[in-house]
Structure 1
Amino acid sequence: MDSSYQGGVAHEEADEFQRLSQTIASNIKKISHNVSSMSKMVNQLQTPQDSQELRKQLRQIQNYTQKMAKDTSSMIMEIMKMKTDKATNRLTRERLSDEYIATLNAFQSTQRIAAQKTKEDVKKVKAQNIGIDAFASGSQKDLVEMGAARKQEQMTLQSERELVELEQRESDIKQLENDIMDVNQIFKELGAMIHDQGTIVDSIESNVEYTSQNIESGVQELRQAANYKNKMRKKKVYLTLIVLIIISIIIIAIFYH
């Protein structure tokens, strides 16, 4: 009954490993696809294709990908902790870990470029607003004389819109910086996990080697025991033959005497 129960547990663990590995592989593909889309969007920033709608889409895909990266990281750590004796499972685990780290690197690189461009935009908007404020600080009389009252109103409205955009972009910068820090934390946790896993693997390999040595030693002892047994058997046969010969000689001597 115990053996059957352990077999059931092993089967469940194998199923869980398979499920996790498939989910991780699927997530890595999704993250990689999202990073590719993000990269195209980031390349459109500060170009004629740049727009609020583009930046909104970029924020949405960035947030979605960030969450998926965190979930995938948890699954990677879970699968790294799972015990497995199959070499194929260990190779699958290492391959998924390598692919995930490479994808995460690409994701973080895209995040950094987006943050840098957004910072540049914020500086540009602030510089423009300073010029507008300086222009608006002139006297109303001068503005009327210049025929710029309407122009001032238009610039003020534009300034308000830009200030709203400025607040949104500053919020985007903070979010990107926080996300970049989160990705850095994921790298640290994965690095520690892979290091510990390497130690575990080394330990497993050492145990396998030790077990192999014990098996080989046991085989040698069995061989020695078998050889010893054969020698004892031969000795018994020889002794029996000698005793029979001696008895035969005694009987013949008595008979002739």
Structure 2
Amino acid sequence: METSYQGGVTYDESANNFQRLSQTVASNIKKISQNVSSMSKMVNQLQTPQDSQELRTQLRQIQNYTQKLAKDTSSLLMELMKLPTDQMAHKLERNRLNDEYMATLNAFQATQRSAAQKNKEDVKKVKSQSINIGDPFAMGSNNKELMELGDTNVRKQEQLTMQTERELLELEERERDIRQLENDIMDVNQIFKDLGQMIHDQGVVVDSIESHVEYTTENVEAGRQQLSEAANYKNKLRKKKVFLGLILTIVILIILIIIFKH
């Protein structure tokens, strides 16, 4: 059996590579979409009674995983777009996956922006409530008065200091989350740019696909008209046969009547 080649790669190998890549990309898009749905629910719970450090940790973990998955999927999709193929079905599948991925990536970035915005609001709120948060021991003249009140007030001061330190740690962690989210959002923007450039480079292919689709549509419409005309012709032929049959029957009856009379 003769094997055809395309750019040094057999059609069978190219088809197998396309199948493998398209299935992986489709699976990744589904995972990203599911993760974005989970992230959206978590973000909606921020700044509510359901908010907790555990929730924020879980949100950060799923965001980091989804970010990596989005980058990997982008690389796979670009590889798929570069894969040579003459099959119209493959070209349409490739563009469908690209559209689905872009839509999913849009939803992911919107969720990232929402999470970053809420973290910024939390940081602003903590800073406004903690006037001397940078110096937990700077209590002014009240500090001396508290020290003079004895061990009870000293313990209160220590508790206040520990609470302030916890607030500082949480504040630093949320600021790190904000910086990470902003960096991730910029990475997603870069993915959009790279894919946009890829689509621009593939513009001729897209135009070709559209022209093929239009040509196929025209052929289908022409075929439908031909079938309709054939059906009409068949009906007319059937009617003509019936009409001729009736005439022949009448003629035979007339002949028989004449014969019987004679």
- With structure 1 as the length reference, what TM-score do the two structures score? 0.73
Q: What residue in structure 2 maps to residue 93 of structure 1?
A: 94
CA distance in 1, matches of 2:87, 2:162: 67
Matched, 1:45 2:53: no
CA distance in 2, matches of 1:41, 1:118: 13
Matched, 1:192 2:197: yes
Tell me how far 1:134 sits from its aligned partner: 8.7
Q: Judge conservation of contact 1:115–1:173 (CA < 8 Å) in 2.
A: yes
CA distance in 1, matches of 2:52, 2:79: 41
Q: Judge conservation of contact 1:79–1:93 (CA < 8 Å) in 2.
A: yes
Note the alpha carbon deviations across 1:162-197, whole angstroms, 9 max, x for none.
Answer: 111111111101100000000000000111111111
Tell me how far 1:125 sits from its aligned partner: 1.6
The aligned runs of 1:1-257 (5 Å cut-off) are: 3-4=2-3, 6=5, 9-130=10-131, 133=136, 136-143=139-146, 148-202=153-207
Structure 2, unaligned runs of 5 or more: 213-262
Note the alpha carbon deviations across 1:29-86, whole angstroms, 9 max, x for none.
Answer: 0000000000111111111111111111111100000000000001111111112111
Identity of aligned pairs, percent?
Answer: 70
CA distance in 2, matches of 1:196, 1:6: 24
- With structure 2 as the length reference, what TM-score do the two structures score? 0.72
Tell me how far 1:199 sits from its aligned partner: 2.3
State the superposition RMSD in angstroms.
2.4
Q: What residue in structure 1 maps to residue 215 of structure 2?
A: none
More helix by share: 1
Tell me how far 1:200 sits from its aligned partner: 3.5
Q: Judge conservation of contact 1:34–1:65 (CA < 8 Å) in 2.
A: yes
CA distance in 1, matches of 2:190, 2:142: 54
Structure 1, unaligned runs of 5 or more: 208-257
Q: In structure 2, give the amino acid aligned to 1:110.
A: T
Q: In structure 1, give the amino acid aligned to 2:16.
A: D
Tell me how far 1:87 sits from its aligned partner: 1.2
Tell me how far 1:204 sits from its aligned partner: 8.0
Secondary structure in 2 aligned to 1:49? coil
Q: Judge conservation of contact 1:136–1:152 (CA < 8 Å) in 2.
A: no
Q: Judge conservation of contact 1:34–1:61 (CA < 8 Å) in 2.
A: yes
Query: Which of the two has higher C-alpha Rg?
Result: 1
Secondary structure in 2 aligned to 1:130? coil
Q: Judge conservation of contact 2:137–2:161 (CA < 8 Å) in 1.
A: no
Deviates more, 1:192-201 or 1:131-140: 131-140
Q: In structure 2, give the amino acid aligned to 1:130.
A: I
Tell me how far 1:201 sits from its aligned partner: 4.0
Q: Judge conservation of contact 1:111–1:176 (CA < 8 Å) in 2.
A: yes
CA distance in 2, matches of 1:134, 1:41: 36
Secondary structure in 2 aligned to 1:136? coil
Q: Judge conservation of contact 1:24–1:96 (CA < 8 Å) in 2.
A: yes
Rate the CA distance shift 1:27–1:130 in 2: closer, same or farther, 3 A: same
Rate the CA distance shift 1:21–1:176 in 2: closer, same or farther, 3 A: same
Number of residue pairs aligned between Structure 1 and Structure 2: 206
